[in-house]
Amino acid sequence: MPYALFYQDAKLSKAYPTEADVWKLATDSGLVVDAVSEEEAPSPRPVLDNDYEIRPCQLDPNEDPARNKADADREARLELKLNS
């Protein structure tokens, strides 16, 4: 089942094969913050900022989650090369 980043009911990202892929995208985009819960141990845990959500999604016509992930990985590698 593919996953995407949502704000309210609006799909903000392309579909990706796994929830972990969308977490990586959100982290790289600066949408993840560390939060500490008073009920749990005081170690921070990552959460999405500003009510963003990662959830299962329907594919848009002709959308390929595996190709979306490959494209994102390629862009990340290129950005690392440019910043080196």
> What tens digit of pLDDT does each residue of 26-84 get?
998 899 988 776 666 666 778 898 889 999 999 999 999 999 999 999 998 888 777 76
The single-letter code of the amino acid at 4 is: A
Domain ranges of the chain: 3-83
Q: 31: which 2 tokens?
A: 């949408």
- b (16+ CB within 10 A) / e for 9-40: eeebbbbbbeeebbbbbbeeeebbeeeeeeee
Per the CB < 8 A criterion, the answer to whether 34 and 44 are in contact is yes
pLDDT for 42 equals 65
pLDDT for 41 equals 62
pLDDT for 74 equals 92
Which residue, chain included where needed, has tokens 């910043």? 83
Q: 38: which 2 tokens?
A: 């008073």
